[in-house]
Amino acid sequence: MQVESTRKQYGVVAQTVHHFGPWLDRNFRFVLMLILLLALLPGAAMLWRRLEHHPGQPSNLWSQIALNVANGRGYVGCAQSYFPFCGPANQVTATREPAPVLLFAALARMTGGLQPVGMIVEWILNLAILVGVFSLTRELGGTRPALLAGLMWAVYLPAIHIFYPAIAGDALATLGVTWALFFFLRAAATNRSVDWLMSGACLGISGLSRSSVVILIPVLAICALVQPRIGINPPPFSVKAKLRASALLLSASIMLLVPWMVRNYLAFDRVVIGTTLGDYNLYRHNAMLLTDDYLKYVGPEEGRSEVQALLVRRPDLHGTESEAQMDAVYRHEALRIISTAPARYLCLSAYRFFLLWFNWGVEAAYGKGATLSDTAMMVQQGALLLLGIIGSLSSSRRVWPLLFSIGVFLLLHIAVIGRLYLLMPVMPLVVVLSALGAIWILRWLLERSRRMNLPQIAAATAPLELTITHIFPH
């Protein structure tokens, strides 16, 4: 009797939920707009706080170079913590990628400054990332999982804390990777040349915003060789047909990277594909391997000390070296230290996963205490890690390009440096897999409750079962 009464109480809920799934399909644009409005709120709060408490212009290296470009002084900047020999006569730089610098320089030229227009642009870029997360998930799992993924990104705390406060290239790099994977999956289904070219172009823009993304270009080119196409009749085996997709993707991305490489060759008389900061980080974050206290994030003060120690050990340096020459010095010293302690390096690289994924201990290295927001981000990162693994294991082979991109990107960074903001370009891919994993868990729990065949449990879970069955059908 009690079970029957409980079921009657949920009659209205059942009718509502029964129509809710189709309503979502018909009105997904409206729901997506609501999610976008939700994502606007943190950015609006950040912008208001910035204008009220920090009305001046930003002072990081990104903004310094962008303002120099905007004011006609050229692509120059000076940060002695990275490049100890910089000065008025030696400040030609490649420490920051060109796409965000040129974007913000154009904005500064038009508006006379970088704020508040810079933060508004970061705001818009994050909304475009959200639309990309929705589109990518929809390509893999349909409209309703896509709305869930969009909602997850709207409340993703690291994006809020990393994108909005400062002028940087993280948001543009993240946007490029997200849409590159969308066009990649679309191209695998349609085999249209324009989709392969768009995927490569998005990767190129992303690589010009965060140079570590360049590693994803060969990764996706290889995936294009082996990725099965969906929804079309595969043609007979042909080497030319196999290479066509990879060639289109590579050509679009490399064509965008070439002008930056040519500029760096003209400026430094040597090839610099990304930036001149990579080997500095390799040295700074591995210099402690020869001490007993090496399992940690190397803060800025320790980094300066290690650079000064290097200068003392290298009397052959004259103080007139360029950034690219110092980059080679950092690389040589870093590889010498790593080769001296390879076992410790492997242990440190494994430990860096926690620094990279959870930002574990990083804020303390900068003299900051852990806040409630930091704890919340760590919890969110842990949940996404678990759900992302489940989503990867429970989904079809179509998610493999996402999985390989995340994996290679992780391995690249744990070999050099671990800090959460560096992981941002692939975090939308993690959110997509997490949304698919969350839906799989809900379906699995319902299946388990059915197998138990207990009336009380069946009655208690009736609303949830109706909701999941109608909103997220198989």
The mean-pLDDT minimum among 205-219, 224-238, 312-326 falls in 224-238
Burial category of 211 from C-beta neighbours within 10 Å (exposed 0-12, middle 13-18, buried 19 and up):
buried
pLDDT digits (tens, 9 = 90+) for 178-214: 999 999 999 998 889 999 999 999 999 999 999 999 9
423, 430 contact by CB (below 8 A) = no
Tokens 């760096």, residue located: 264
Alpha-carbon distance 287 to 363, whole Å? 20
Say which residues have a Cβ less than 8 Å from residue 53's Cβ, sequence separation at least 6: none
Locate the domains of the chain by residue range: 2-314+329-471
Alpha-carbon distance 323 to 267, whole Å? 10
Alpha-carbon distance 370 to 28, whole Å? 39
Q: How far is CA 141 from CA 154, 223, 303, 437, 448, in A?
A: 19, 20, 45, 11, 23
pLDDT digits (tens, 9 = 90+) for 119-173: 889 989 999 999 999 999 999 999 999 999 999 999 999 999 998 867 899 999 9
Alpha-carbon distance 176 to 202, whole Å? 5
For residue 453, the SS3 value is: coil
Tokens 């009690």, residue located: 2
**Structure tokens belonging to residue 79:** 């940060």
For residue 87, the SS3 value is: strand
Alpha-carbon distance 303 to 298, whole Å? 6
Is-cis flag, bond preceding 116, omega within 30?
yes
> What is the pLDDT at residue 46?
75
**What is the mean pLDDT of the segment spanning 276-288?**
95
**Structure tokens belonging to residue 290:** 């020869």
> What is the pLDDT at residue 45?
81
Say which residues have a Cβ less than 8 Å from residue 307's Cβ, sequence separation at least 6: 81, 84, 284
Q: Which residues of 21-42 are buried (b: 16+ CB within 10 A; e: fewer)?
A: beebeeebeebbeebbeebeeb
Task: Label residue 54 by pLDDT band (50, 70, 90).
Answer: low
Residue 409: closest CA among 436, 430, 388, 434: 430
For residue 298, the SS3 value is: coil
- In this predicted structure, the answer to whether residue 118 has a pLDDT above a threshold of 90 is no
> What is the pLDDT at residue 223?
94
- Percent share of the chain, pLDDT over 90: 68
Alpha-carbon distance 396 to 407, whole Å? 17
Task: Label residue 15 by pLDDT band (50, 70, 90).
Answer: low
**Length of the chain, please?**
474
> What is the pLDDT at residue 448?
77
Task: Label residue 351 by pLDDT band (50, 70, 90).
Answer: very high
Alpha-carbon distance 463 to 474, whole Å? 18
For residue 76, the SS3 value is: strand
